[in-house]
Amino acid sequence: MAQPRILAPADNAHQYPLLIKQLLLSGPRYNPDQEIVYANRSKYTYTDLVERIHRLANALTDAGVKPGDTVAVMDWDTPRYLECFFAIPMIGAVLHTINVRLSPDQVVYTMNHAEDDVVLVHDDFLPILESVKDEIKTVKTYIQLTDEKAAKSTTLKVAGDYEALLAKAGTEFDFPDFDENSVATTFYTTGTTGNPKGVFFSHRQLVLHTLAMTGSLSAYDEMPLLRSTSVYMPVTPMFHVHAWGVPYAATMLGIKQIYPGRYEPELLVDLLKEHKVTFSHCVPTIMQMMMGTESIKTADLSNWHVLIGGSALTKGLCDAGARLGIRMYTGYGMSETCPLLSVTHLKPEDLELPLEQQTNKRVKTGIAVPMVELEIVAPDGQPVPHDGEAKGEVVARAPWLTQSYFKQPDKGEELWQGGWLHTGDVASMEPDNTLTIKDRIKDVIKTGGEWLSSLDLENLISQHPAVAGAAVVGVPDEKWGERPHALVTLKPGEQADVEDIQRHLEQFVASGEINKWAIPEHIDFVEDIPKTSVGKINKKLIRDQLK
Residues 123-182 that bind a second copy (CB under 8 A): 178-179, 181-182
Q: Which segment (148-156, 207-215, 437-445, 537-545) binds a second copy by CB under 8 A?
A: 207-215
Residues 234-263 that bind a second copy (CB under 8 A): 252-253
Catalytic residue check, 155: no
Among 194, 348, 465, 492, binds a second copy (CB under 8 A): 348
- Does 49 bind a second copy (CB under 8 A)? Our answer is no
Find the catalytic residue in 336, 375, 393, 458.
Answer: 336
Q: 3-class SS at 181?
A: coil
Nearest to 145 by CA among 122, 166, 163: 122
Q: Which segment (370-378, 467-475, 487-495, 528-536) binds a second copy by CB under 8 A?
A: 370-378
Q: Which is nearer to a second copy, 63 or 529 (CB)?
A: 63
The DSSP 8-state label assigned to residue 434 in this structure reads: -
Do 488 and 528 touch, CB atoms closer than 8 A?
A: no
- Does 460 bind a second copy (CB under 8 A)? Our answer is no
Among 132, 136, 164, 371, binds a second copy (CB under 8 A): 371
Q: Which is nearer to a second copy, 159 or 183 (CB)?
A: 183
Q: How many residues sit in the footprint of a second copy (CB under 8 A)?
A: 75
Catalytic residue check, 47: no
Q: Which segment (148-156, 203-211, 356-364, 512-520) binds a second copy by CB under 8 A?
A: 203-211
- Does 353 bind a second copy (CB under 8 A)? Our answer is no
- The contacts found for 11-19 with CB under 8 angstroms, 24 or more apart, are 17/177, 17/178, 17/179, 17/180, 17/203, 17/204, 18/180, 18/203, 18/204, 18/207, 18/208, 19/90, 19/177, 19/178, 19/180, 19/203, 19/207
- Does 476 bind a second copy (CB under 8 A)? Our answer is no
Buried/exposed code over 133-149 (b: 16+ C-beta within 10 A; e: otherwise)? eeebeebebbbbbbbee
Min dist CB 383 to a second copy, Å, is 14
Min dist CB 527 to a second copy, Å, is 46
Cross-sheet strand order for the sheet of 141-145: 94-97, 70-74, 118-122, 141-145, 158-161
Nearest to 429 by CA among 375, 362, 482: 375
Among 135, 356, 373, 414, binds a second copy (CB under 8 A): 373
- Does 349 bind a second copy (CB under 8 A)? Our answer is no
Cα–Cα distance between 268 and 264 in angstroms, integer? 6
Burial of 164 (0-12, 13-18, 19+ CB in 10 A): middle
Cα–Cα distance between 93 and 117 in angstroms, integer? 10
Find the catalytic residue in 43, 133, 276, 446.
Answer: 446
Nearest to 250 by CA among 229, 269, 265: 229
Among 25, 150, 468, 534, binds a second copy (CB under 8 A): 25
Residues 88-107 that bind a second copy (CB under 8 A): 92-94
- Does 385 bind a second copy (CB under 8 A)? Our answer is no
Q: Which is nearer to a second copy, 356 or 387 (CB)?
A: 387
- Does 372 bind a second copy (CB under 8 A)? Our answer is yes
- Does 398 bind a second copy (CB under 8 A)? Our answer is yes
Q: 3-class SS at 399?
A: coil
Q: Which segment (24-32, 38-46, 355-363, 517-525) binds a second copy by CB under 8 A?
A: 24-32
Min dist CB 208 to a second copy, Å, is 7
Cα–Cα distance between 158 and 148 in angstroms, integer? 17
Catalytic residue check, 420: no
Catalytic residue check, 115: no
Among 220, 276, 316, 525, binds a second copy (CB under 8 A): 220
- Does 410 bind a second copy (CB under 8 A)? Our answer is no
- Does 87 bind a second copy (CB under 8 A)? Our answer is no
Among 153, 171, 228, 515, binds a second copy (CB under 8 A): 228
Residues 416-455 that bind a second copy (CB under 8 A): 416, 419, 421, 432-433
Cα–Cα distance between 189 and 405 in angstroms, integer? 10
Burial of 43 (0-12, 13-18, 19+ CB in 10 A): middle
- Does 343 bind a second copy (CB under 8 A)? Our answer is no
- Does 112 bind a second copy (CB under 8 A)? Our answer is no
Min dist CB 435 to a second copy, Å, is 11
Cα–Cα distance between 339 and 288 in angstroms, integer? 23
Among 20, 226, 269, 322, binds a second copy (CB under 8 A): 226
CA angle (334 as vertex; 418, 220 as ends), nearest 5: 100
Nearest to 249 by CA among 292, 271, 216: 216
144 vs 20, 65, 165, CA distance in Å? 25, 15, 10
Among 63, 401, 505, 542, binds a second copy (CB under 8 A): 401
- Does 536 bind a second copy (CB under 8 A)? Our answer is no
One-letter-per-residue 3-state SS of 290-303: HHCCCHHHHCCCCC
> From its phi and psi, is residue 227 left (phi > 0), alpha (psi between -120 and 50) or beta?
beta
CA angle (456 as vertex; 454, 458 as ends), nearest 5: 70
Among 41, 42, 68, 103, binds a second copy (CB under 8 A): 68
Min dist CB 352 to a second copy, Å, is 14
> Strand runs (DSSP E) across 326-466, as ranges?
327-333, 340-343, 367-368, 373-377, 392-397, 416-417, 420-429, 435-440, 445-447, 450-452
Q: Which residues pair with 145 in a beta bridge?
A: 122
Q: Which is nearer to a second copy, 144 or 210 (CB)?
A: 210
Min dist CB 397 to a second copy, Å, is 6
- Does 64 bind a second copy (CB under 8 A)? Our answer is no
Among 59, 165, 211, 258, binds a second copy (CB under 8 A): 211
Min dist CB 232 to a second copy, Å, is 12
Catalytically annotated residues: 189, 336, 446, 451
